[in-house]
Structure 1
């Protein structure tokens, strides 16, 4: 469909809106009926049904209006304003109890709907639900304190229109530069759009202006946990606990931070304290399960996850966490329960995605491969539908690295960084065997295993800048001051100290760092870099059936996966040309086939003497926070290398993209 057709339809929708605003309801309905005859895109059809329903309600055709709302909800059952309209119609038809349900659903989906809260206060008062009256009144008072532009921003955010919300919020802050609520809202938009460095800067600035602002600090705390800055997060949570020592959510946040810092025993103790205070919060049991899994106490972790879904039967994360142990096998009853929950109306997108991935794993374990693929496919399609990933941007990033990170750059500036040998980076694609390589190396007496550290990605983001100027990263690596490289290297060493024990070497296994090998070698010229590589079909399909916590948005579409893998190969080939013999490629299949030879090769590259513990890696006791944690606690096994072949008939888009 071409753009002019879209523009014509949008113009007609605006005309219907104007007719409603000028009380020409019959004309609005008539024009809407004409437009219904045309073939239009779903998003426009949803808007058309909504406007039709509004016009019908104003005309007092309440039953017809409700029919229009039903048609809309079939297309999008998360449309908050549709439920608000339904509530008005039910009120007019004297169906007060149904009206209450509609308004409650509206504010559940969009807590910023002032009109729905006002109606709910009256309905709760009629039913003598005094506690609900108070809660609704509190929410309404909070909303009415917001300046009108920020109220509009919150509505747009709840409707998923983050780009429009961003524009309005920025415009408001230009006029009201130190408005804390405005800064918090813009930070929240940044988090939703994954512009984490902007959000972090905004929240840190808000706290400089208003150090006692609890909401801004708790928002800052949650962001720091999300991006893995656990040391700074620890400082923030202590400040919050000083203000509110009995706040359970802050105690649980501290336990999550301790898990991130590798202080697992302390974390488990805190989670258990929180559960002792309130045993009915499913999330507490889930997070306890994560800490127990990281420690290696898998039976207790499983028990915690099961408790979580028993408390909250539609809790997708509990089922997915069980699947994500990789060793758990679901019972018939659990599979039936997951499928029942998937069919429930009003299930959140997140729960739906997690339930589909868990069901896919359950059927795969039972060798029911078609059912398994269908579940994985549905989960991936749902996840892909809202993450706004664009593979073209990744391919452009790769081309920029190749264009600007030249042999000449490393010849001229390759000796300016910090001259320390401490870091060993393991890069590549997720699910390529990086956790196994980390476990092998971390079993050496001279090496600390850590986790997937965000520091290099954060530095690259800062160098890219907030304003997408012409002279941005990686182009600016040619022009920034000489002393910056050593400073950045020192900053990386300082910031990562908190994840280390006492060994002279440590591992950063963030796979996405393959995009920034040039930057790594400029700031840490003696760093070792290992490319964990796995055969394309096995690697990509393993990624497709993995629901990642964050940051691997390319993995939810088979064609995107194939193109991403090709871009990765292209860039790794470039690094081999401009940084010859600087990166060691380790093929997962070779490690599986001849473990000791590959262990000796890896240790030799890292300048480490051979230790038998690296071959006996599965005996090493350490905290592991990745999906493969249980697999690397067992001796090496070969059956995973060809699992994708059971699904080959469904993987044509991936094969085509991989050529």
Structure 2
């Protein structure tokens, strides 16, 4: 502002009296003095600048900006007025306008560097990193101990794509102020972005221990671990964060989502219920409950939730989402489509697209259904865990295993000193969506059977006995791997003496060598279904994205994995010589008793009529972990056999890959 000595007496007096009134707490009087002097012809720039600053200090940013604009119009070259106007615009949230005012020249006129700091911040907020980064660099060059600006420079560099520069700036900020959790958090996240993930995890864990009341480090640790595919560790992190702040709705929702992602439906329900208890109309909390009820076949509670959510004040968008779930369960497909059509695209999640596909299929709109399923997979491919890359790595692993399993490799196996004579599971295999869940549900009805449903028994055993060690494994290594197998199995089944353990895990198709090594007399149940139906069903199912299931996000990689897996199974089966009994899904649909009698004979089990009542077994078994959770609770139906014909034109590109298997398994096109 120009010096007071250049102002007219009326303006000088008004400014003096207004400031005196404001300092005495008579703010309204101060405004009146200034406005009156302005109306009576006082100096526009000086009075408007004063009034603008006073209005901003009182919280009336709109009036403050108006007066400061008038002051700047009167004195466009006054850097102080320009800086005050930029600050007011920034406070009001108009960052682009503030940056336009706060030019490099205006910022440079402030010896305190505050205007440069503000200019850099505004540029960062408007994603103009070519301005933000060099401006922050000017600040830290002039004030090298300014840890906050080093921190902001690090963040700006990261957002601009300069990850190494970001880490360097944030390391400096952390050195200057090691007691700032935000700085250390930003440093850890920059390390993760640079690929130094182990260091990032170590720093985040250290922060979580050092600041026990803080949840941000644990929340970020959860995000990093989830991106790495370390789902169990990610769950531990977010559960600990939520435990530290049990009423934090965002943490509760993140915990519920992680639990649901791992199909831990009961704990997920607890978290969603807590959200609804704290905030009855919370959209994601109510929608989460709907998903839990859907996954656990609780159709009555799903129907009741529609009314309860409406009473809680849930918005129409999510309410219609819940209604669509209920309509699908009630097979009111047209009503479901109508409800889901009212849900805006902003809620386009994989689950929404999957539901839309199911509803469109229900009304016979197969092209629209396929488009919805395709959209579901496109969304999933964008997941930060890089499912496309993980899928490719899994296929390459199967190729490597297949190339390794040769007659010479099998012939090189060292024999155990004493043949194994302990309990031996049967293994239920088959490409996903081949009817394995229906079959294991039927077997659960037999009182002489215990079923493991896709538990990591072989995976954990292979940590002790990896694939490359199978030929040369010592007796001790094999014994420890078996113990680990049964330790994991015991977590999920009682392992009652005299009962047959059936270990159902479809893609153990690719695990015959370790099965043979651990259990030389194991029996293999192979579930088969028309390859086109299997590939279609995998592609249109909303799976949890582990490395294997990530292949199902594209139709071509689904078919490719089918081909690779059965090629490996056929090759390994001929070499490891385990007894295999094939169960044809279409035969189960047509005559389940005949198919089940043959299976029980193979397993050396007496006949039991209870295996025929799979619906009662399904309802009694509680949570079903697989994507077949809804179908196995229904009567056996024929519509799933030959379903692929409705989508034939969409499957044409992959039929050549499947055709050899279609012929081998006795199916037709």
TM-score of the pair, normalised by structure 1: 0.61
Question: Structure 2 CA distance, aligned partners of 1:114 and 1:202?
Answer: 26
CA distances 1:95-142 after superposition (whole Å, capped 9, x unpaired): xxxxxxxxxxxxxxxxxx96567579xxxxxxxxxxxxxxxxxxxx99
Aligned pair in 2 of structure 1 residues 337, 446: CA closer, same or farther (>3 Å)?
same
Question: Structure 2 CA distance, aligned partners of 1:280 and 1:421?
Answer: 53
Aligned pair in 2 of structure 1 residues 268, 182: CA closer, same or farther (>3 Å)?
closer
Report the aligned-residue RMSD: 5.1
- Quote the residue 1:643 is aligned against: 643
- The question of 1:597 aligning with 2:594 is answered yes
Question: Structure 1 CA distance, aligned partners of 2:640 and 2:591?
Answer: 16
- The question of 1:490 aligning with 2:483 is answered yes
Q: Which deviates more, 291-300 or 387-396?
A: 387-396
Q: Secondary structure at the match of 1:586?
A: strand
Deviation of 1:588 (Å)? 1.2
Aligned pair in 2 of structure 1 residues 271, 488: CA closer, same or farther (>3 Å)?
same
Question: Structure 2 CA distance, aligned partners of 1:302 and 1:360?
Answer: 21
Q: Secondary structure at the match of 2:525?
A: strand
Question: Structure 1 CA distance, aligned partners of 2:304 and 2:147?
Answer: 40
- The question of 1:543 aligning with 2:544 is answered no
Deviation of 1:578 (Å)? 1.6
- The question of 1:329 aligning with 2:332 is answered yes
- Quote the residue 1:289 is aligned against: 290
1:586 to 578, 583, 586: 583
Q: Which deviates more, 219-228 or 443-452?
A: 219-228
- Quote the residue 1:361 is aligned against: 358
- The question of 1:571 aligning with 2:568 is answered yes
Contact 2:286 2:309 in 1 (8 A): yes
Question: Structure 2 CA distance, aligned partners of 1:525 and 1:168?
Answer: 56
More RCO (CA 8 Å, sep 6+): 1
Larger Rg: 2
Contact 1:427 1:511 in 2 (8 A): yes
- Quote the residue 1:38 is aligned against: none
Matches within 5 A, 1:290-439: 290-304=291-305, 311=314, 322=325, 328-332=331-335, 335-336=337-338, 338-339=340-341, 341=343, 344=345, 347=346, 351-384=348-381, 387=386, 389=388, 393-407=393-407, 409=409, 412-413=413-414, 415=416, 420-421=422-423, 423-439=425-441
Aligned pair in 2 of structure 1 residues 148, 294: CA closer, same or farther (>3 Å)?
same
Matches within 5 A, 1:4-83: none
CA distances 1:200-240 after superposition (whole Å, capped 9, x unpaired): 9985896489644744555666858997977x889777765
Contact 1:227 1:454 in 2 (8 A): no
CA distances 1:582-619 after superposition (whole Å, capped 9, x unpaired): 44332211221221222233333444333221121211
Aligned length: 504
Matches within 5 A, 1:56-455: 115=122, 181=185, 185=189, 203=201, 207=205, 211=209, 212=212, 214-217=215-218, 243-247=244-248, 268=269, 271-304=272-305, 311=314, 322=325, 328-332=331-335, 335-336=337-338, 338-339=340-341, 341=343, 344=345, 347=346, 351-384=348-381, 387=386, 389=388, 393-407=393-407, 409=409, 412-413=413-414, 415=416, 420-421=422-423, 423-454=425-456
Aligned pair in 2 of structure 1 residues 253, 119: CA closer, same or farther (>3 Å)?
closer
Aligned pair in 2 of structure 1 residues 269, 373: CA closer, same or farther (>3 Å)?
closer
Question: Structure 2 CA distance, aligned partners of 1:481 and 1:206?
Answer: 40
Q: Which deviates more, 500-509 or 489-498?
A: 500-509
- Quote the residue 2:529 is aligned against: 534
Q: Secondary structure at the match of 1:651?
A: helix
Deviation of 1:637 (Å)? 1.6
| Unaligned ranges ≥5, structure 1 | 1-86, 95-112, 121-140, 157-163, 465-472
Contact 1:184 1:202 in 2 (8 A): yes
Deviation of 1:383 (Å)? 3.8
